[in-house]
Structure 1
Amino acid sequence: MASNDELDVPQEGLAEAWRNALPDWLHGGDHAEVRIDGADPSALNVTIRSAGHTNMEFDFAVRYVDSREIDIQLTDVEKDGQTVDERTDIIQQLIGDYRRHLHETAQALHHYTHS
């Protein structure tokens, strides 16, 4: 059965909406970069640079399951340009925080993604 709630917004417009909204949910000093996923029109790639942990970068793939729900996959964690073990407690806590911020951003954009 096909969903009647598919995401139906231009991908670049969606990325721009995320670029504008995501900073409102991040901690002061954290920075995010939002890029379109060229292989999937319902997906974005998000890199968050953590202010409190020197040179830490978290890469996430954010895919819209429908116009309201997102699926978030962690794709990489780096410190000083080197991949690190993301299983440490502090990194797991940061991943959880950033996943929550990504969900909050998606919720804040329901007016844009859900027609």
Structure 2
Amino acid sequence: MNEELTLDQSSLVHAWQRQLPEYLNPGDSARVEADLGNPRGLRIHIDAAGRQFYSFDFECSYMDQREVRVELVDVEKDGQTVNERSEKIQEMTSDYVRHLHECAQALHRLTKST
């Protein structure tokens, strides 16, 4: 049975902002914001480490207290939109999606009903 998410969006944003760096690659940085169009959603911006200046934008929506849906919104390199279908971008995206799911799993202690 899927349980409703009971944690408010502001608390989710703060929890993700604290927890997410532990799941990213060394040197990566992230910004987590509330998704204003979805009370159960977050917008996550990740700046990849290294000299290639890649940045990734994800939409993360809670389906219930356990499950999140993560979707890539945009990838940029040095401020310019890039082809998201290249092998390197696909590989990096898949790593970040995995990290976001791992972070959501770690935060389950906060999102589960009491």
Q: What corresponds to 1:57 in structure 2? A: 55
**How far apart are the structure 2 equivalents of 1:4 and 1:96?**
26
Q: CA deviation at 1:66?
A: 0.3
Q: What corresponds to 2:94 in structure 1? A: 96
Matches within 5 A, 1:35-54: 35-54=33-52
Q: Structure 2 unaligned segments of length 5 or more: list them.
A: none
Q: What corresponds to 1:15 in structure 2? A: 13
CA RMSD of aligned residues (A): 1.1
Quick one: which amino acid aligns to residue 41 of structure 1? P
Establish whether residue 24 from structure 1 lines up as the match of residue 18 from structure 2: no
**How far apart are the structure 2 equivalents of 1:72 and 1:108?**
16
**How far apart are the structure 2 equivalents of 1:72 and 1:107?**
13
Q: Is the 8 A contact 2:44 2:59 kept in 1?
A: yes
Quick one: which amino acid aligns to residue 21 of structure 1? Q
Q: What corresponds to 1:80 in structure 2? A: 78
Establish whether residue 111 from structure 1 lines up as the match of residue 104 from structure 2: no
Runs of 4 or more, structure 1, over 2 Å off, are none
Q: CA deviation at 1:54?
A: 2.1
Quick one: which amino acid aligns to residue 33 of structure 2? R
Quick one: which amino acid aligns to residue 47 of structure 1? H
Q: Is the 8 A contact 2:5 2:62 kept in 1?
A: yes
Return the TM-score normalized by structure 1.
0.94
**How far apart are the structure 2 equivalents of 1:32 and 1:60?**
11
Once structures 1 and 2 are overlaid, which stretch shifts more, 49-58 or 74-83?
A: 49-58
Q: Structure 1 unaligned segments of length 5 or more: list them.
A: none
